[in-house]
Amino acid sequence: MKKNQIILLSIFLLITALIYWKVASNKKNTPKEGKEAQTTQYVPFSIVKNQNRTLKLSSYGQITPYTELEVSFEVQGRLEKGEGSLKPGAKFGFNQLLYKVNSEEAFFTLSSRKAQLSNLIITILPDIELDFSSEKTKWNNFLNDISPSKTLPDFPKFSSNKEKMFITAKGILSDYMSIKSLEARMSKYIFLAPFDGTVIEVYAEPGATVNPGVRIAKIAKTGDMEVKVPIALSQLRDFKKLGKASFIDAQGIEIGTGNIVRVSEIINQKTQSVDVYYSINSVNGEQLFSGQFVTVEIDQSNVQSSFTIPRMAVNDNAVSVLVGTKLEKRFITVVGSKPDSLFVSGLKNGEKVVLETVEISKQIKKYLGVKRD
């Protein structure tokens, strides 16, 4: 019985192996299908359509006072207010007393010197009456005009060399000159406004002790302003050729006109621009403010056929034009500009200008099969 079971098991395994071999030999090798990743790349372009337009060049600028001064003193002392309290924005008139430094000590010193001069003249009056009797009146008048609260009168003119030598030997002329020097120094204790203007900044208040040369305030002349405009070298010739310009505020309103006053001979190394200074006159009663930023426009006064493209599409005065699957380089001429775009000529209507720089990325060119000449 056991032997028969072994024979049956062997026959079963053999049949199973034959069936498995048959099935395995009929199995087809089917390759795995995978989906390739697809990436879509886009090259932005614009179709050229030239238009005739009156072009304007623009830049930006800032209104600045034509004259700015910093108030300071050449003497030391306690600062005192002048005619009115000065704060930023306060206005003042020509020759108005803005500040003064306490001069009490200097005043008494000056008065003492004047008294000494009077005593010198009194001591020589008898000699003048004896030797220069005809000159006694003028010296008496000079003596009477000397006052502690007034500046010295003009020194009497000498009638002869003898009189000149006598007065000089007595030290009167020397004392007179010393007192005039002290009077000149007294004028440094006050600051009179040199023009009609306004206060920009205040650095010290009345009551503070000031030293020679230390800033007290900054003032600016009103009614006389200019506009500082940095202009690119590529546009400088056009701005200088026309000379005049219009000034537009942040709301797009024309607030003034002006002409070139001067052109700096120093170039800004970072921006490759030159500072041009314009005079500015208000139009339509618009108020002008110191420090105000404005747009500066010049009208080239000529009509040109041009096409507008972004600044980023231009590199070395050239753009890329898509011709079928080929990328070609076109040189253009910039005839006008805006802050973010350029007006160019040299392109034909219907051409496809790539809105990128001439050096398009290698990945895009490889995908499109675009070639450049």
Return the higher-pLDDT residue of 239 and 73.
Answer: 73
DSSP state of 206: T
Which domains, from first to last, does the chain contain?
47-64+224-372 (2.40.30.170), 67-96+193-221 (2.40.50.100), 105-187 (no CATH)
Lowest mean pLDDT among 133-147, 173-187, 299-313: 299-313
Q: How far apart are CA 19 and CA 369, in angstroms?
A: 55
Grade residue 371 by pLDDT with cuts at 50, 70 and 90: very low
Q: What is the mean pLDDT of residues 116-129?
A: 92
H/E stretch holding 327 reads: strand 326-331
Per-residue pLDDT of 260-293, as tens digits, reads 999 999 988 887 889 999 999 999 888 888 889 9
Please tell me the predicted confidence (pLDDT) of residue 72. Answer: 93
* Of residues 281, 332, 331, the one with CA closest to residue 304: 332
Sequential DSSP letters for 266-287: EEETTTTEEEEEEE-EESTT--
Q: What is the mean pLDDT of residues 119-125?
A: 92
At residue 244, what are phi and psi to the nearest 5 degrees?
-105, 160
Residue 260 · residue 78 · CB < 8 Å:
no
Query: What is the percentage of the chain residues whose pLDDT exceeds 90?
Result: 38
Return the higher-pLDDT residue of 307 and 371.
Answer: 307
CB count in 10 Å sphere of residue 252: 7
Per-residue pLDDT of 47-72, as tens digits, reads 888 877 666 677 889 998 888 899 99
Grade residue 373 by pLDDT with cuts at 50, 70 and 90: very low
Q: Which pTM was predicted?
A: 0.55
Please tell me the predicted confidence (pLDDT) of residue 317. Answer: 80
Rg for the chain (alpha carbons), in Å? 46
